[in-house]
Structure 1
Amino acid sequence: MLQRLGQISASRPWRTLLVLLVFIVLAGVIGGPVAGRMNGGDGFTPPDAESSQATAQLERATGEETSPGVILLVRGDDAAAQAAAGGLAAVPGVARAEPGPPSTDGDSRLVMGTLRAGVDDEEVAADAVAAFEGRDDVVVGGGAVAGLQLSETISADLGRAELFAFPLLFLLSLLFFRGRAAVLPLVVGITTVLGTFLVLSGVNLAYSLNVFALNLVIGLGLGLAIDYTLFLLTRFREELSKGAEPREAVATTMRTAGRTVVFSAATVAAALGTLTLFPLGFAESMGLAGASVAIVAGLASLAVSPALLALWGHKLARKESAAASGRWHRIAHGVMRRPGVIAVATAAVMLVVALPALSVNWTPVGADAVPTGNSARTLSDASEAEFGGAATTPVTMAVTAPESAAGEVETYAARFDAPARYLGSNTWAVNVEAPGDAVGEQARALVDDIRTADAPFPVAVTGPAAEFVDQQATISGRLPLALAALAALTFVLLWLMTGSIVLPLKAIVMNALTVGAALAPLVFLYDGVEPTNFLVSAALIFALSTDYGVFLLGRIKEARDTGETEREAVAVGIARTGRVVTAAAILLAVAIGAFSTSAIPFIQQIGIAVAFGVLIDAFVVRSLLVPSLMALLGKWNWWSPKPLRRLHERVGISEEGREAVPA
């Protein structure tokens, strides 16, 4: 099938490129505006959690949101605060606005604006910001404004990432691809990004996606496009150097490297797809976007590359440096001379590096995620410094009881030194003031105390601390399933490729080591890490580690199937892939590393962790751990029980026209 696809694309390259141009234009027109249509909310709390259900119950009873969505910091006296409250109350979507407590020095006041339930928070926030634009005595903040300004920052980050990544990637592509071949990854990259935007436009109609997913689309889309085109181009040049004509070289490239691209795209999509097992909007959006971009990148590279390879033909020929190939060959044999020592030492160092990841401090996404200079961040900082955190939301209980049970409800609320307020619809609200940070240890302990205490009526707890507790509980509950799915999908795909059960198991363990080592820097660089951000980073690193593993295993298996000895097959595979994996890792680290230019800390964290992980995988795992472990296991690398071996003979995917040497 791959040869047929390559033949269709290569036989009429100009027609293929014309179809590609039409597709890019349509994808840009239809999918380009997807950023403005993504309104999946913050996505960090599961919708079926107790806190979410309590919030929904309170909103149904009052027709209002449970906490102030827009907060004003007014520099002035009570009269100024009253005037500002009137202006805020006039904003469409604001249910009420009330002056809050004064600052500790008495020079400022807070005004709390509660939004109507069901309104578009960002739209109301934009109107509120516009209503007080130009006022030096009023700072507009709150959760809704923070969400608006995060979305605006994301859009600015996309532009910054493009300005940073594209020129640098083009220069590096010129260095690694040489000549006109440098155009190939950029063409496939643009096709991948716009094609994924088009796919996500359709997905967004059925499932509201989080806007943060767009950063992943650009970084991963460019990175995978570079990887896949580099794999295909390298094999095409190799075939040309053997004397093959361009059409013949394209056919061989699609049968060999094309097969590797298929497996790589499938493993990356499967790994990132496991994020959808967590019922958190941010994780689900990243999983859907990541799986989509991997599939689109694979399809784009396999459909577009043959046309350009056939069109330019011998003009792309470039003799591989014998010195570079020989150097990687010698490194592989050098490692395999002392495989036990090197395997143990490398694994031990990676374990030590990974240990800090076990002591990470989990923190939620709050107003401090908004970059300094935005009004929501200014208000948040002022709330802590001047008001003792008065703009934070308390722990809120939704008590289900009739109005006639007022005495019992008030007695229950008195246990927590809190007043009870009847809202209607058999719902009472009890706001308990938690000391310290709104999501700190004391607030979370209070949530646990309320939930474990006996109550005369059904009680559900909400508020920032309760939402964070529910998020962590959801992640802990779904993590075993997600890990099992990740391991199972990776195992099955690598088994289909190799026929071995040893190689997939070994790949899973090595990928886990890489993930741990790559996430450790976040512990040292940041005071806290948002849990779902940690999940996304781990899934990305695991996926990309498998990506390079597939490419290397493909070449080792090919060398072994042609009769090379076990160790020589490993050395040949590393020699043929060493330079290309190194180049691909550097390019992908730049593409994903563009995340680190984001003004939002938890987006920065993804860029740093993934770039670090990719480089560890290319320079440590593929250079030291893979050859040493393969030398230790020898022919047992390819072992599989007889029933599975027979099954693989029936369903395994092998290169067309090539018979494998049995294990």
Structure 2
Amino acid sequence: MFTRLAGTITGRPRLVLIVTLIFVVGAGVLGVGAFGKLLTGGFDDPRSDSSRAADIVDTQFGGAPNLVLLVTARSGTVDDPAVAAAGRSLTAELGQEPGVRGATSYWTGAGPSLRSDDSREALVVATVDDDHADDLVTKYEDAADASGPVTVRPGGQAGVNRDIGDSVSTDLATAESFAIPITLVLLVIAFAGVVAALLPLGVGLIGILGGFAALSVIAEATDVSIFAVNLATSLGLGLGIDYALLTVSRFREELATGKDKRAATVATVRTAGRTILFSGATVIVALAVMLVFPPFFLKSMAYAGIAVTLVTMLTAVVVLPAVLLLLGERVNALRVGGLAGLIRRRRVARESAAPAAAGATPREATESPFWRAVATQVMRRPLLTGLPVVALLLLLAAPLLHVSFGTPDDRVLSGGTPSRVVGDVLRDDFGSNVSGALDVVVNGPTTTGALAGYATELSRLPGVGRVDSAAGEFRGGARTEPPGPASARFTADAGTYLRVIPSIDPMSTAGQDLVREARALPVPAGTEVLVGGQSAYLTDGKHAISAKLPLAIGLIALATFVLLFLFTGSLVLPLKAIVLNGLVLGAVLGVSVWIFQDGHLAGLFGFTPGPLDTSMPVLLFCIAFGLSMDYEVFLLSRIKEQHDAGVPNTEAVATGLARTGRIVTTAAVLLAVTFAAFATGSVRFMQMFGLGTALAILIDASLVRGVLVPAFMRVAGNANWWAPAPLRWLHARVGLSEASPPVAPAASAAIAIPHPGGEPDGRTSSTTSATVS
């Protein structure tokens, strides 16, 4: 398969590049339009009661208030005549703005609950169409410090959405300005040349453009989250580096054996191309699992990730070999000195002074003495070295025992963000949280008496500040205000709805308990009741995630098992990979709880501690699982190559790690940089995603690949490659295998001790010539 593909590429390399250029231009034009189509939010289950309630309130009752203007008296109280006049004028002005479906305030009869405890602040609340929300938030933010008796600060869900969107865009630009220069410098050091270093960035850029184009098309048909842009950028850049590093290094290695550029290209596609195919397939499988979850935030991540991975994989397997064929030896052009040159010169000096190993081949010259020594030492005492690492990972996972979950509100933003400032004032200075209200929809006809009775019972529930309804206002089990003109907004032809204003944090455990208690109350006869609002979104979101989680874990484990069986022909190695990945993910999620929920390092990263967002552990699980399997395939491909050639188990493992350790480490560091850049942002759950993914990559590339894999494979011995006869027969016929010609088995002992001479330079990269097939 890959030999035929290589023949096609080497036969028409310029045609391949022309088609690629056309794709890049088209994807760039299409991808630019994606940004105007993407949405904030997407953390709720659209089929839940809370989402159904929100849809009914929006279509039948004009929508729940989503814009809050915090009005502060410059002097005196909000009841002073000048302040009151300004408040009424502001309410009337807001009510006339395009897209506003209704505005009310403390000064227009909405009640004392919209006045702060010290009477220096009051609220104007409005329902605003999504298409106009950002413009209105910006307008009142710009006018916040205008002269007059009051200051005005916009907030509420409309303000939070605008600020999150702006923060994501700013953070993305900051992350790119931070990650790309560092990545380029590291690539130049790794390849000791500018031309070779630019190739991974080119592959990553094509993957990113392809991902943006896919998001633009998908957003025409369904909701897509703006956060998918972050994933498309980081994953495209990271996988582009991974796959190009692998391909370029293998090509340079093949040139170093004396092959001409065409033969080197064919060998590269046949070996590295196969590895990239399986590697990309494992990443795609992990990402596709997010499609089973209802929130469109997770589905969006799947759309972006699958598209980017597919385009990057095809670019590395098809386009990059065509570029390498045309470059030939010029891939080593524009060599640089400095650290890379110093490393190369020192290695040449060591190798010149050391005797050549008997029977050494050019491929053995690409081995890393350090990683061979690590593998050798681990396999000498596998239990003594492996069990402490397992214990460490379990210890890091321990904070998961007290994990709690939430949905994003203004507290995911940094402290100085406008909507966050308003949210803090609402929680600290107001007796009830109008922006955290429960919307209780009553479908079906009911009498005024029955509605009043139901509102009375709702107002008795713990954590309820008041209940607004068509039957009046209720507090503590009694009606405190009769129906007035404003009560008409709670009535429609098909039924009515009530606003339950909590006196507690809607994101707290008490807020979730309030949802369950409200849903447990007897409803008016002949009606159906749906409970919505922030607390209900959180309750339903947690249920949607937990209900699908067993299916997701089962699917990702099964698909990964099948792919690795097709790759290796073993039943033991896929199980080993799944268990080790589970340890890594547990450790990363535990560290995330310790940092982002418990608040350690909050000062360093500038966030407010809080519950983990419901969708984020799932996203982190899928991304980290896929990328970990990426490196698993890199390592197993080299070990299998040695095993298929008849090399003993311990020597095959040592050689595999020696030939992949450097490239996996380099790729992991570069990939970790691209994700860790998001930890410098200002949105808490994206900080967690960036830091958690980077940590998972580094743990996997060091402790797992360097210690646990060799330890396990030493203990398992020949059982590593076990499969029952029927499955061996199946693998022989359906397994995708296209190995390079076998080499003679090594004449070394079961565990080889590296000779001190290191590795000759030849024409390969000074720091990343260890590659995988």
The normalised TM-score by structure 1 is: 0.94
1:423 alignment counterpart: 491
Alignment of 1:289-308 (within 5 A): 289-308=304-323
> Which of 373, 394, 412 does residue 454 from structure 2 map onto?
412
Give me the CA root mean square deviation: 2.1
Opposite residue 274 of structure 1, the aligned amino acid is V
In structure 2, C-alpha distance between the alignment counterparts of 1:381 and 1:99, rounded to whole Å:
19
1:275 to 1:239, Cα distance in 2 relative to 1, 3 A: same
1:653 lines up with 2:653 in the alignment: no
Deviations 1:414-434 (A, max 9, x none): 112245425122322223333
1:88 to 1:366, Cα distance in 2 relative to 1, 3 A: same
SS of the aligned residue for 2:4 comes to helix
In structure 2, C-alpha distance between the alignment counterparts of 1:564 and 1:657, rounded to whole Å:
15
2:521 alignment counterpart: 453
2:52 alignment counterpart: 53
In structure 2, C-alpha distance between the alignment counterparts of 1:657 and 1:327, rounded to whole Å:
26
Opposite residue 554 of structure 2, the aligned amino acid is A
Q: Is the 8 A contact 1:122 1:147 kept in 2?
A: no
In structure 2, C-alpha distance between the alignment counterparts of 1:345 and 1:387, rounded to whole Å:
52
Deviations 1:98-128 (A, max 9, x none): 113222222222101123xxx3x15333135
How many residues align? The count is 653
Bigger drift between 155-164 and 390-399 goes to: 390-399
Alignment of 1:271-420 (within 5 A): 271-316=286-331, 325-388=368-431, 390-403=433-446, 405-417=447-459, 418=467, 420=469
In structure 2, C-alpha distance between the alignment counterparts of 1:341 and 1:131, rounded to whole Å:
64
1:223 lines up with 2:293 in the alignment: no
Deviations 1:368-425 (A, max 9, x none): 223444322221122223324534232221122314x222232222112245425122
Bigger drift between 88-97 and 574-583 goes to: 88-97
In structure 2, C-alpha distance between the alignment counterparts of 1:394 and 1:363, rounded to whole Å:
16
Alignment of 1:175-324 (within 5 A): 175-179=189-193, 180-316=195-331
Bigger drift between 20-29 and 479-488 goes to: 20-29
SS of the aligned residue for 2:682 comes to coil
Bigger drift between 28-37 and 491-500 goes to: 28-37
SS of the aligned residue for 1:112 comes to strand
SS of the aligned residue for 1:30 comes to helix
2:768 alignment counterpart: none
Following superposition, the deviation at residue 314 of structure 1 comes to: 2.6
1:94 alignment counterpart: 100
In structure 1, C-alpha distance between the alignment counterparts of 2:243 and 2:516, rounded to whole Å:
49
In structure 1, C-alpha distance between the alignment counterparts of 2:131 and 2:679, rounded to whole Å:
26
The normalised TM-score by structure 2 is: 0.81
Alignment of 1:38-117 (within 5 A): 38-39=38-39, 41-62=40-61, 64-66=62-64, 68-76=65-73, 77-100=83-106, 101-115=114-128
In structure 2, C-alpha distance between the alignment counterparts of 1:138 and 1:131, rounded to whole Å:
7
Bigger drift between 438-447 and 609-618 goes to: 438-447
1:149 alignment counterpart: 163
1:174 alignment counterpart: 188
Bigger drift between 13-22 and 223-232 goes to: 13-22
SS of the aligned residue for 1:392 comes to helix
SS of the aligned residue for 2:612 comes to coil
In structure 2, C-alpha distance between the alignment counterparts of 1:26 and 1:81, rounded to whole Å:
51
2:143 alignment counterpart: 134
Alignment of 1:417-496 (within 5 A): 417=459, 418=467, 420-421=469-470, 423-455=491-523, 456=525, 457-496=527-566
Alignment of 1:543-582 (within 5 A): 543-582=626-665
In structure 2, C-alpha distance between the alignment counterparts of 1:370 and 1:355, rounded to whole Å:
27
Q: Is the 8 A contact 2:140 2:152 kept in 1?
A: no
Q: Percent sequence identity over matched residues?
A: 38
**Pair member with larger Rg:** 2
Bigger drift between 416-425 and 324-333 goes to: 416-425
In structure 1, C-alpha distance between the alignment counterparts of 2:254 and 2:535, rounded to whole Å:
60
In structure 2, C-alpha distance between the alignment counterparts of 1:30 and 1:595, rounded to whole Å:
25
Following superposition, the deviation at residue 197 of structure 1 comes to: 1.1
In structure 1, C-alpha distance between the alignment counterparts of 2:144 and 2:116, rounded to whole Å:
19
Deviations 1:529-549 (A, max 9, x none): 112012111111111110000
Instruction: Give the helix-richer structure, 1 or 2.
Output: 1
Opposite residue 88 of structure 2, the aligned amino acid is Q
1:14 to 1:105, Cα distance in 2 relative to 1, 3 A: same
In structure 2, C-alpha distance between the alignment counterparts of 1:259 and 1:594, rounded to whole Å:
31
1:622 alignment counterpart: 705
Deviations 1:582-609 (A, max 9, x none): 0000000011112212221111111100
Q: Is the 8 A contact 1:394 1:431 kept in 2?
A: yes
Opposite residue 124 of structure 2, the aligned amino acid is V
Q: Is the 8 A contact 2:157 2:435 kept in 1?
A: no
Q: Is the 8 A contact 2:53 2:531 kept in 1?
A: yes
Bigger drift between 148-157 and 168-177 goes to: 148-157
1:28 alignment counterpart: 28
SS of the aligned residue for 1:243 comes to coil
Opposite residue 221 of structure 1, the aligned amino acid is G
In structure 2, C-alpha distance between the alignment counterparts of 1:211 and 1:608, rounded to whole Å:
19
Q: Is the 8 A contact 2:211 2:307 kept in 1?
A: yes
In structure 2, C-alpha distance between the alignment counterparts of 1:534 and 1:126, rounded to whole Å:
33
2:606 alignment counterpart: none
Following superposition, the deviation at residue 487 of structure 1 comes to: 0.4
Opposite residue 114 of structure 1, the aligned amino acid is T
Q: Is the 8 A contact 2:566 2:734 kept in 1?
A: yes
Deviations 1:60-100 (A, max 9, x none): 332x112x111111123222211111111111111111113
SS of the aligned residue for 2:405 comes to coil
Following superposition, the deviation at residue 218 of structure 1 comes to: 0.5
In structure 1, C-alpha distance between the alignment counterparts of 2:676 and 2:249, rounded to whole Å:
24
In structure 1, C-alpha distance between the alignment counterparts of 2:710 and 2:47, rounded to whole Å:
47
Q: Is the 8 A contact 1:122 1:144 kept in 2?
A: no
In structure 2, C-alpha distance between the alignment counterparts of 1:390 and 1:447, rounded to whole Å:
15
Deviations 1:213-238 (A, max 9, x none): 00000101000000001111222222
Following superposition, the deviation at residue 132 of structure 1 comes to: 6.1
1:619 to 1:131, Cα distance in 2 relative to 1, 3 A: closer
Q: Is the 8 A contact 1:592 1:607 kept in 2?
A: yes
Opposite residue 90 of structure 1, the aligned amino acid is Q
In structure 1, C-alpha distance between the alignment counterparts of 2:739 and 2:187, rounded to whole Å:
31
Q: Is the 8 A contact 1:185 1:230 kept in 2?
A: yes
Opposite residue 722 of structure 2, the aligned amino acid is W
